[in-house]
């Protein structure tokens, strides 16, 4: 094992901080050193020129094709030059806590078995996390917690998460200030968790959530967030652990992009959540939401209005039968046919008309009033499958 303390030196501007250059960096990455010395309070500066990039005088900290068997944790570190991990494998967690990245961060083609965590980092330049995949069937969990962005030359950095397969993506206390934060062609297998985050001006393109068991969103906003070709999977209560306001934002974001069919799915779940949030003293609101839920599943099921139309028609026609007016099957067909009026109002106003005839006409008009509401639900349900209501 290398003599670590012989190869590093104290920062003259900060006696509590060590300085590590590019040569030493490659050595301390070896397993023995990592296990015996915490990578804490280190300034990584004066990196190495990268092989194959002789035309460039840019120095970097680059690790390629390395296997890490234990945790890799950087705490309170400063990276002056680009930091890159390329085609490496990590069996345990990779954590950057309270670290400042003054140059680019690149993680490309790595295999990760557990967590990749950025806890309270400060990004000054672009971040690229690409082609992350599983290690022997165990998928990476990516977490950003309390991220800060620092302007360089008057501009914030960009973040690109591209072509990754993640078990879990967790954004916590994340306020997007990046010029671009793009999540591209990424598949999330188990869970998407957004917590107290502001995802304004972010772009989700080709995000696949079809197999994600849980989508948990709490106290987060989606102002001007773009969702392009996102596969949400089933929009159900079991999968979406969130409130009605979040669903309203997702509905609105999809509506603004013209994806009205997906917006309608969020609208349905929004109404279900909102109905549960209503207090019982809002009795009329409860009636409206209950009717919308069971008559058409909030405009998402066109079959339900037809079902209720004929069920109510049969029940009310049965009441007609009790009036002893001897109805026939043709009478029933006319009764449920919205384009036929089987009743003669003259009979109703005729003083010699029997009570049974008058009751039949009353039942018929009650059915017609109910049919207007059911018909409206049918129309908007059919339109919801093709366009916005």
Q: Are strands 187-195 and 165-172 parallel, antiparallel or unpaired?
A: parallel
Residue 341 is predicted with a pLDDT of: 63
pLDDT band at 108 (very low <50, low <70, confident <90, very high): very high
> How is residue 94 written in tokens?
């990779």
pLDDT in tens, 328-361: 677 677 777 776 665 554 444 455 556 666 677 7
pLDDT band at 323 (very low <50, low <70, confident <90, very high): low
CA-to-CA dists, residue 295 to 37, 141, 238, 262, angstroms:
66, 42, 22, 21
Residue 291 is predicted with a pLDDT of: 77
Mean pLDDT score, 21-37: 69
Residue 345 is predicted with a pLDDT of: 46
Burial of 208 (0-12, 13-18, 19+ CB in 10 A): middle
Residue 212 is predicted with a pLDDT of: 92
- Report helix, strand or coil for 243: coil
pLDDT in tens, 168-202: 999 999 988 888 889 999 999 999 999 999 888 88
Residue 185 φ/ψ, nearest 5 degrees? 50, 50
What's the whole-model pTM score? 0.74
Residue 14 is predicted with a pLDDT of: 73
More confident residue, 126 or 370: 126
Residue 294 is predicted with a pLDDT of: 79
Residues 6+ apart with CB under 8 A from 82: 47, 58, 60, 61, 62, 103, 104, 105, 106
Q: How far apart are CA 278 and CA 280, in angstroms?
A: 7
Structure-token match 């109404």, residue found: 271
């Amino acid at each position: 094992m290398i003599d670590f303390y012989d190869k590093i030196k104290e920062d003259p501007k900060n006696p509590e901080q060590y300085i590590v250059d590019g040569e030493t960096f490659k050595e301390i990455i070896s397993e023995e050193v990592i296990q015996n010395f915490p990578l804490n309070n280190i300034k990584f500066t004066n990196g190495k020129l990268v092989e194959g990039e002789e035309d460039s005088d840019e120095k970097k900290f680059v690790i390629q094709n390395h296997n890490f068997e234990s945790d890799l944790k950087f705490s309170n570190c400063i990276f002056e030059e680009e930091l890159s991990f390329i085609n490496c494998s990590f069996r345990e967690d990779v954590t950057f806590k309270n670290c400042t990245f003054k140059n680019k961060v690149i993680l490309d083609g790595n295999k990760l078995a557990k967590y990749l965590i950025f806890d309270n980092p400060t990004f000054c330049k672009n971040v690229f996390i690409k082609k992350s995949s599983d290690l022997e069937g165990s998928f990476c969990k990516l977490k950003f917690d309390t991220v800060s962005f620092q302007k360089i030359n008057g501009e914030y950095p960009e973040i690109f998460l591209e072509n990754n397969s993640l078990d879990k993506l967790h954004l916590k206390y994340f306020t997007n200030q990046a010029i671009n934060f793009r999540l591209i062609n990424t598949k999330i297998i188990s869970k998407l968790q957004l917590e107290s985050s502001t995802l304004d001006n972010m772009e989700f393109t080709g995000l696949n959530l079809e197999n994600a068991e849980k989508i948990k969103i709490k106290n987060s906003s989606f102002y001007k967030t773009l969702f392009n070709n996102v596969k949400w999977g089933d929009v159900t209560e079991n999968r979406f652990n969130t409130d009605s306001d979040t669903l309203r934002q997702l509905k609105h974001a999809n509506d603004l992009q013209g994806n009205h069919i997906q917006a309608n799915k969020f609208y349905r779940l929004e109404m279900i959540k909102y109905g549960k949030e209503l207090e019982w003293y809002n009795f009329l609101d409860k009636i409206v939401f209950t009717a919308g839920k069971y008559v058409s599943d909030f405009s998402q099921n066109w079959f339900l209005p037809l079902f209720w139309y004929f069920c109510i028609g049969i029940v009310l026609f049965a009441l007609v039968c009790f009036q002893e007016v001897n109805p026939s099957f043709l009478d029933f067909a006319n009764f449920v046919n919205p384009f036929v009026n089987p009743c003669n109002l003259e009979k109703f106003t005729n003083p010699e008309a029997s009570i049974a005839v008058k009751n039949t006409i009353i039942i018929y008009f009650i059915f017609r009033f109910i049919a207007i509401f059911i018909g409206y639900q049918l129309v908007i349900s059919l339109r919801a499958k093709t366009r916005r209501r």
